[in-house]
């Protein structure tokens, strides 16, 4: 089963073809970073317009790279949300048009189901990763989300913690912006933090009175701003590295603290890190250092499948695509209910 997927929920125009839910035949991402960088964040209207420009060449390149012709594609998948409405619309319209014209099943996929699936992907010449056993814990940590999920099956996912304000990636982006370091903030902050002293500034770990596992990053962002305002000038050199290292350490400490607590509360050993912030080496290392001695296992996709891409969407669509293409299915009804691919329940 070869699924061609389109992802356009934010500022990456992406298309990919994945076979049997895990082997990535092609994976094309046209990033709009340069378009949005001068604004210090994603401008939704510009994102939509650039998706319109990029989507057809990106889809054509995905097909060409995989060495396939249209009849060899068995299903079309597309990110249905969450994301920027105008941006999503572009991918959805192209996916619907392709499914209609080719008479193939159309599978709408929840963006986070894609991020959680990324850990099972591999290239045609790479070994298939063992992947986490069910049930497992997933920390989805990106520019739009910071949440913990208990994953009992690929389509049975329960949210057990969420951010009460900013997402972690958003905090990286906003801190980079306030320090004049550009967009996206995550990679610049990580680079700038190298050689910095993570204990130069003490930022407190937020705790909630109800003892919940929820996250909060707006206080940390304000604390960094307060340091800058007290100095009266933007930090440079070693001062800048120290501030970035301290911020990163505080963000990572919070993510790992909640993740460890959730594994204990739910008796889970396998932990998946997913989403753009999972590229962060300090987070990967801290999660391993905290979980491995407790008998835990940490699964992290390679960086190219942590940030937004269409391969994760194609992979996540596999089971639903199989059902739709299966024998006995009415060919006149080639769509699936939007909730059919991923059921998210609150704890």
Binding residues for ligand KG4 (CB under 6 A): 10, 142-144, 169, 172-173, 184-187, 190, 275-277, 279-280, 307-308
132 binds, among Zn ion, ligand KG4, none (CB under 5 to 8 A by kind): none
Structure tokens at 305: 């499948």
CB of 69 to ligand KG4, least distance (A): 31
Structure tokens at 340: 């059919």
By CB under 5 A, the count of residues binding Zn ion is 2
7 binds, among ligand KG4, Zn ion, none (CB under 5 to 8 A by kind): none
**Residue closer to ligand KG4 (CB basis): 105 or 186:** 186
Answer for which of 308, 309, 310, 334 binds Zn ion (CB under 5 A) is: 308
190 binds, among ligand KG4, Zn ion, none (CB under 5 to 8 A by kind): ligand KG4
**Helix 237-266 vs helix 168-178: crossing angle, to nearest 10:** 170
Residue 330 phi/psi, 5° resolution?
-65, 115
254 binds Zn ion (CB under 5 A): no
Q: How far apart are CA 100 and CA 334, in angstroms?
A: 9
**Residue closer to ligand KG4 (CB basis): 87 or 320:** 87
Give SS3 for 196: coil
**Contact predicate 273/284, CB 8 Å:** yes
Beginning with the edge strand found earlier in the chain, give each strand of the sheet holding 297-299 in spatial order. 297-299, 270-274, 136-141, 146-153, 156-162, 343-346
Q: How far apart are CA 181 and CA 200, in angstroms?
A: 20
Interaction residues for Zn ion, span 129-148 (CB under 5 A): 142
184 binds, among Zn ion, ligand KG4, none (CB under 5 to 8 A by kind): ligand KG4
**Residue closer to Zn ion (CB basis): 19 or 142:** 142
The site string for Zn ion over 90-129 (x = CB under 5 A, - otherwise) reads ----------------------------------------
**Contact predicate 71/64, CB 8 Å:** no
108 binds, among ligand KG4, Zn ion, none (CB under 5 to 8 A by kind): none
Give me the DSSP letters along 204-222.
Answer: PPP--TT----B--HHHHH
**Residue closer to Zn ion (CB basis): 166 or 308:** 308
CB of 299 to ligand KG4, least distance (A): 16
**Residue closer to ligand KG4 (CB basis): 169 or 196:** 169
**Residue closer to Zn ion (CB basis): 2 or 299:** 299
Give SS3 for 183: coil
**Residue closer to ligand KG4 (CB basis): 63 or 279:** 279
Structure tokens at 278: 């999972």
3-state secondary structure 220-247: HHHHHHHHHHHHCCCCCHHHHHHHHHHH
40 binds, among Zn ion, ligand KG4, none (CB under 5 to 8 A by kind): none
DSSP letter, residue 341: G
Q: Which of 64, 76, 66, 137 is nearest to 104 (CA)?
A: 76
**Among 192-200, 202-210, 287-295, 308-316, the segment contacting Zn ion (CB under 5 A):** 308-316
**Contact predicate 116/274, CB 8 Å:** yes
- Give residues in contact with Zn ion (CB under 5 A): 142, 308
């Amino acid at each position: 089963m070869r699924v061609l997927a389109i992802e356009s929920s934010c500022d990456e125009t992406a298309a990919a073809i994945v076979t049997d839910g895990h082997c990535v035949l092609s994976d094309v991402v046209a990033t709009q970073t340069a378009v949005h960088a001068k604004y210090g964040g994603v401008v939704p209207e510009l994102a939509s317009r650039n998706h319109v420009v990029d989507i057809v060449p990106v889809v054509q390149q995905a097909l060409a790279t995989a060495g396939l012709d249209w009849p060899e594609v068995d299903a079309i998948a597309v990110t249905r949300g969450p994301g920027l409405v105008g941006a999503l619309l572009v991918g959805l319209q192209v996916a619907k048009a392709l499914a209609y014209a080719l008479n193939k099943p159309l599978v709408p996929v929840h963006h986070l189901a894609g991020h959680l699936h990324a850990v099972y992907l591999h290239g045609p010449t790479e070994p298939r990763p063992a992947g986490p056993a069910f049930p497992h814990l997933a920390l989805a940590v990106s520019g739009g989300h910071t949440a913990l999920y208990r994953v009992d099956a690929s389509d049975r996912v329960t949210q057990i913690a969420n951010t009460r304000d900013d997402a972690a990636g958003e905090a990286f982006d906003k801190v980079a912006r306030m320090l004049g370091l550009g967009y996206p903030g995550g990679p610049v902050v990580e680079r700038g933090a190298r050689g910095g002293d993570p204990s130069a500034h003490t930022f407190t770990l937020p705790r909630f009175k109800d003892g919940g596992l929820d996250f909060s990053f707006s206080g940390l962002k304000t604390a960094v701003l307060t340091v800058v305002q007290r100095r009266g000038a933007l930090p440079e050199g070693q001062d800048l590295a120290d501030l970035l290292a301290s911020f990163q350490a505080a963000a990572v400490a919070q993510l790992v603290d909640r993740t460890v607590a959730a594994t204990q509360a739910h008796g889970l050993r396998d932990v998946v890190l997913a989403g753009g912030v999972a590229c962060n080496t300090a987070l990967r290392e801290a999660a391993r250092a905290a979980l491995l001695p407790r008998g835990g296992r940490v699964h992290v996709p390679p960086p190219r499948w942590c940030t937004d891409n269409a391969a994760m969407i194609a992979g996540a669509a596999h089971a639903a695509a199989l059902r739709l293409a299966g024998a006995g299915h009415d060919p006149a009804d080639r769509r699936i209910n939007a909730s059919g691919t991923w059921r998210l329940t609150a704890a």
